[in-house]
Structure 1
C-alpha cells in the first residue's frame, strides 16, 4: 500500500537545510534588469554553507553531486567542485561552510541541487529509541529513488546578484521533515518516500552558529586573523588543494583555542596557532557578523585536538554508564585514515588517564564530569568487539564535553527561588533523541522532574506546561541536583506546533466529527501519535484526554482533504467537517492527519490554521 508524501507549508518555522551564499549585492530590492547591468561581467565570490534541524532521522547521509546557480538569462553555473557526502542529521544547531567560489557576475534567480541516494545511509528512530536502517527509498511516484533533483526559484524582487561589493545572505531550506515520509511495513521495516521541498530566503532573521574546517593556510597575529583552506564535511583535512576555496577568519580576546590538547585564550592562542606546521588541521566555530560581513571565531580546535587527526574519534550522547564504561547513542565514527561512519551504539572505555575538557572553557574537568545524556567527542583507539560491537579505548585518549540541548515541558519555574535549580522540566528529548533511550538510574536523575540550574538566566516567562529548550551541560555523574547547568534557555511556547497521527490499518473511526472540532481516537495509531513544538515532543497517548483539533478564530484557515481523486481545500471549518463526515460515511478510511497551530497540552487541544486529512 502506497501513501502520498506530505509537504509542509512555508509558515512552519522548522528549518532543516540551509545554504548560506555570500556575494556582491546590488539592487536586491530593485529592478532585476538594472541589477544585471550593474553586475556586468565581473566575477563575485559565493560562499555556501549547509545545515538542517531536528527530524526523525538518526542519520541521513547522501551524496550532494551538483549545486548549480541559474541566471535570469538562462546561463547555468555549477558551483560544486567535487561530489560531497553529507549527513544532514548532524547539522541541527549549526551551519557548515560548504565552499567559497568565484563565479560570473549577474542576476541568479534559481538554485538547483542534485542528491544521490544510491549509496545512502539513512536510519530512522523507532518507537523504542533505536535506529533502524532504511533499505527501501522511493520517490513521490513510488519508484526506487536514485538521483533526486530539487530546485527553488528566488522571489522576483529578491534575486541573488553577484558582483564585487557588499556581501549578501541567501538561505536555502531543504526541509527533511516535510520532504520525507517514513512508514513501516507489516514486518516493521521502514519505507522512506522522498518528495522534496526547497525554500529560499535572502535574509534569514536568526542565522545559526557556523562551523568551518580545513588545513591552516596562514596566520597574521598582528591583525588577529588567520586563513584556512575549506574542506567541508568528510573531505580529507590532509588534502591541501583549495577546490572549495579559502576563508579568512577574525579572532578577538574571547576566542578560545584547543591546540594539541592544550587550552588557550585570546592572543596567546593565536600565537600558538601561528607556530603550528603549515596546513595543520583546524576546525572553527563562530558567528557570521553583519555590517560589515565578517566571520569571528568563538572556538578554534587545531592539531591533534581535531577529530580524525592522529586518533580515532566517536561523537554522540552518553546513553548509559557503568563505572568507567560508557555507551554512546547516535555516534559518528571517524578513523585516522579519514573514513567516517554512523553507529548507533558505541562502547567507550575510560580511565584516570583520560583527559577531559569542556568546549569554550579553560576550567579543569575529569571523567566524573561525564554524565547521562551529555554530548561528547571521544578520542582514542577504535576496535570491534564480537560482544559489544564498536569499542573506543580512551584510556590514553581524551573526551570533549559538548554543548547539549535538552527539551521538555516545564513542571515548575520560580524566578525568585533561592534554590540552585529553580527550573524543573519533564524531559522529552536530549539532542533530539527520545529520552527513553537514556538510563538515568546510576546518575540519580529523574527525567520526569529534571532539575536545571539557571544562574542569572531569566525564567520569569516560563509557566507550568510550557515547552522549553535548554542548552548547556549535564552536572557531574552521580552528583546531587541540579542535574543540568543551563547556558541558554529558549521558551518555544509561541513556536507553531505540528500534530502528526498515522493509523495502520486505515480507520473509519479515527475521528469524532463535530462542526467545530475533530476529536482523535488513537486506537490503532501507528508510529506517529505526537505533537512537535520547537523540538519538544509530546506523545499524545500519554495525555489523560483524547486530543482535539479546533479551528483558529479570527484568521483564514486551510483545511485539506486528500483523497483518491486529489485534494479538496476548505477555508470554512464547518464545510470541511461536513465533507469529511460524508466521505467517511461513504466508506472512506483515514490513514493520516497532520495539523499546524498552537498546542495547549493540559487541554490536549490544538488550535489549527492548517489541517491535512489523508483518506484511503
Structure 2
C-alpha cells in the first residue's frame, strides 16, 4: 500500500458479461467518498482499515492505463473487507499468537510488501513472526508448532502490532494432511530410499509445490528445520503408486515399491513429483502416509 493506493494481486473482475481473472496487479484507489464496510463487524470502517493481506470486495470502475497497467477507482463505489484466512505454524502462545506464516488467503506472504503496516518500521508485519490478536478467544489448548487456520482481519494500516485480529482460531494439526512436492530440477537422490520405512525428500531443485496442506492451511516444507520425511503407515490400506510415461503401477508392499522405484531411477528416470496422504507431525516434519504417489520422468 502507498497512500490511498493499494495493489491487488490475483484479482477477479465480475461484470454482467462474465468474470475475468487478472494475472497482473491492479491498483485500487481508495477515496473519502468510498463506502467502506467489514464482514462480521458492525463497527465503522475507513480507508485506513485496509492493510496488507486484507481480502476485499471492491465496487467501482476499471481503467486501463497506457502502460498496460490497470487502475480501479472506488470514489463512487464501495470496498467491503472480507474475512481473511491465515495458515501457519504456532511459534509462541502468549498475549498474542506468533505464527510462522505460510499463507494469507492461500497465497504465499513473500509476494506481499508489509512496509508501513506497523506504527514504525521496526513494527512492520513479519511473516516469520506474524502477531495475531486473540480477541478474547481461548488458546490454552494450542501447543507450539501446531498448524493453525485463523480467520479475521488485518490490523488497520500503520497500527501493528498486533498484525491481525482473529475472529476464529482452529488447530488443524490432527486433521488429515496432504503433502505435495514437485521438482523442477530433479536429481536421482531427490527421493532418498535408503530405509525400508520411509522416503526422505531433498528439496533442492523443487518447483512450484513444496507444501503440506491441512483443512486449507498450507505449510511450506522449505521453512522446516527437520528433513521432510514420508513415513509408511502401518495399515492394511497403505499402498503406493508409481507413474511414468502415462502408466500407473500400484504396489501394496513396501519392499516391491522401493525395489521398483530404485530400478527405474537406476535406469535413468528422475522424480518429477510426489504426493502423499496421511497424518502430519509438524515438529518432526514427518507425514505418516497411507497413500503415496511418485511421478517419474
- TM-score tier after normalising by the smaller chain length: 0.7 to 0.9
Q: Aligned partners of 1:362 and 1:506: how far apart in 2?
A: 52
What residue number does 1:443 align with?
Answer: 117
Kindly report which structure 2 residues correspond to 1:2-151, keeping only aligned pairs within 5 A, or say none.
none
User: 1:428·1:435 contact (CA, 8 Å) conserved in 2?
Assistant: yes
Q: 1:542 to 1:360 in 2, by over 3 A?
A: closer
- Give 5+ residue unaligned stretches, structure 1: 1-320
Cα 1:474–1:526 shift into 2, 3 Å: closer
Whether the 8 Å CA contact 2:62–2:72 is kept in 1: the answer is yes
Report how far residue 468 of structure 1 moved.
0.9
After superposition, residues 516-555 of structure 1 pair within 5 angstroms as 516-555=197-236
Distance in 1 between residues matched to 2:266 and 2:13, nearest whole Å: 54
Any residues of structure 2 matched to 1:341-380 within 5 Å, and which? 341-344=20-23, 345-380=25-60
Q: Aligned-pair distance for 1:555?
A: 4.8
- In the TM superposition, residue 443 of structure 1 has moved relative to its aligned partner by 0.6
1:579 aligned onto 2:260: yes
Give the conservation status (yes or no) of the 8 Å contact 1:413–1:424: yes
Confirm whether residue 459 of structure 1 aligns to residue 133 of structure 2.
no
| TM, length-normalised to structure 1 | 0.44
Is 2:107 the partner of 1:427?
no
The equivalences for 1:222-261 within 5 A come to none
State the alpha-carbon separation in 2 of the partners of residues 383 and 502 from structure 1.
38
Check whether the contact 2:155–2:163 (CA below 8 A) recurs between aligned residues. yes
Distance 1:597 1:365, change over 3 A: same
Measured at CA, do residues 557 and 366 of structure 1 come closer, stay the same or move farther in structure 2, by a change above 3 Å? same
- 1:544 Cα deviation (Å)? 3.1
Once the two structures are superposed, the pairs formed by residues 302-341 of structure 1 within 5 Å of their partners are 321-335=1-15, 338-341=17-20
Residue 403 of structure 1: aligned partner: 83
Q: CA RMSD in A?
A: 2.2
Quote how far apart the aligned CAs of 1:557 are: 0.6
What residue ranges of structure 2 are gaps of 5+ in the alignment?
119-124
* 8 Å CA contact retained: 2:186, 2:206: no
Contact (CA 8 Å) 2:147, 2:282: kept in 1 or not? Answer: no
Q: Secondary structure of the residue that 2:10 maps to in structure 1?
A: strand
TM-score, reference length from structure 2: 0.88
What secondary structure is seen at the aligned counterpart in 1 of 2:22? Answer: strand
Q: Are residues 551 and 388 of structure 1, via their aligned partners in 2, closer, same or farther at CA, if it must alter by over 3 Å?
A: same
CA distance in 2, matches of 1:352, 1:505: 50
Deviation at 1:322, TM superposition (A): 0.6
Distance 1:389 1:603, change over 3 A: same
- Pick closer, same or farther for the CA change 1:379–1:468 going to 2, 3 Å: same
Rg (Cα) greater in structure: 1
